[in-house]
């Protein structure tokens, strides 16, 4: 199984070219928390800014600075190394020698700073975030600034109206698809693959999930190519935008659900296969099974890895928040500065490649 080429939603619109991440400060990521710390409790939530630092290094440096075990530090998500990022991180407050969380504010290392600190009752857990806000500088544009701005605005208008295809980005599958290949080998029970991840449960989970991600992408691609990304099929699994509850669309409610879809009350979902995934029915089931059959992959293999890949559904399209684009001059050259937000688990590079028309 190879990584599928991902067609653009805005293929009819020319891109701006350019480069990103020339400097970590060109790629700002700010976490949108699922909840705010309440101001009381046994855990200190630290609003941390880092630049050019991996997620693992952040945890290690915080543990050393505050003299707490790494296992007791909590974070909702791992942020990119090649970026300027801000996020909440929790540490056990009862293990630090102060009664005032404000005393935790300050420099941890030259590239890590605690900007704020508040108390909360529980440790911060993986996934406890609503999404992320981005501010990205695109340099080395392929055309004059005003033309690039006009192109970007046209593309953003389409994405703002229709939504962003919720692809898994190329980085999800490893260099030249190596993580995906490992996941396929693991699911097929190949001995060499098992030996590679015997002591690395994180890599094992990542590899198996890469197979789910590729199958999701293939369903998304098939719907985009048929022009039905925003068209509800009989039996599609939809997700409510207010509660995140999922349900299969009944045949006699198809027209009603199409209206709810257009009003933003529900979104259509694609498959992350596994034994606990809510399956579509009727026409939608036939469509997804056709994509799976074309892949040549045996979905029953996920049964053997139920703990790592229980299965779920993922929105096919996501809202990009308040999209903005500005033309600026930095370091004596014209650049575009893009602002947008995405829900947790969605890739900023997927939006950027639509605008740049490159594999950003």
| Under 8 Å between Cβ of 275 and 310 | yes
| Under 8 Å between Cβ of 318 and 217 | no
Nearest by Cα to 176 from 199, 210, 205, 222: 210
- Angle (CA) 212-216-218 rounded to 5° is 120
The Cα-based distances of 248 to 81, 224, 238, 265 in angstroms read 39, 20, 6, 15
* 273: region left, alpha or beta (phi > 0 left; psi from -120 to 50 alpha): beta
> What does the CA dihedral 17, 23, 27, 31 come to, rounded to 10 degrees?
160
Sign of the C-alpha dihedral, residues 60, 346, 131, 248?
A: negative
Catalytic residue among 40, 61, 72, 80: 80
Query: Could you confirm whether 80 is annotated as catalytic?
Result: yes
Active site (catalytic) residues: 80
């Amino acid at each position: 199984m190879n990584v599928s080429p991902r067609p653009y939603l805005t293929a009819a619109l020319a891109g701006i070219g350019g480069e990103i991440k020339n400097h970590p400060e060109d790629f700002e990521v700010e976490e949108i928390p699922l909840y705010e710390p309440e101001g009381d409790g046994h855990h200190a939530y630290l609003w941390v800014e880092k630049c050019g630092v991996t997620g693992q290094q952040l945890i290690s440096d915080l543990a050393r600075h505050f003299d707490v075990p790494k296992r007791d530090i909590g974070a909702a998500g791992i942020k990119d190394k090649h970026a300027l990022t801000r996020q909440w991180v929790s540490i056990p407050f009862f293990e630090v020698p102060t009664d005032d969380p404000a005393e935790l504010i300050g420099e941890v290392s030259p590239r890590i700073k605690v900007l704020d600190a508040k108390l909360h009752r529980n440790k911060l857990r993986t996934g406890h975030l609503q999404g992320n806000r981005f501010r990205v500088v695109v340099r080395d544009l392929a055309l004059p600034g005003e033309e690039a701005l006009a192109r970007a605005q046209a593309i953003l208008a389409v994405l703002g109206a229709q939504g962003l295809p919720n692809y898994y980005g190329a980085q999800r599958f490893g260099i030249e698809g190596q993580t995906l290949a490992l996941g396929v080998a693991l699911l097929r029970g190949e001995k060499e693959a098992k030996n590679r991840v015997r002591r690395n449960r994180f890599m094992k989970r990542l590899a198996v999930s890469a197979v789910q991600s590729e199958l999701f992408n293939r369903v998304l691609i098939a719907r985009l190519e048929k022009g039905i990304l925003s068209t509800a099929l009989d039996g599609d699994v939809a997700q409510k935008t207010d509660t995140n509850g999922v349900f299969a669309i009944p045949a006699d409610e198809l027209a009603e659900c199409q209206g709810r879809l257009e009003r933003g009350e529900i979104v259509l979902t694609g498959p992350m296969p596994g034994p606990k995934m809510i399956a579509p029915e009727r026409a939608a089931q036939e469509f997804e099974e056709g994509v799976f059959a074309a892949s040549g992959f045996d979905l029953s293999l996920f049964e053997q890895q139920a703990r790592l890949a229980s299965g779920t559904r993922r929105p096919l399209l996501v809202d990009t928040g308040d999209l903005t684009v500005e033309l600026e001059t930095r370091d004596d050259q014209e650049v575009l500065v893009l602002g947008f937000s995405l829900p947790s688990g969605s890739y900023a590079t997927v939006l950027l490649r639509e605008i740049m028309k490159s594999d950003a």
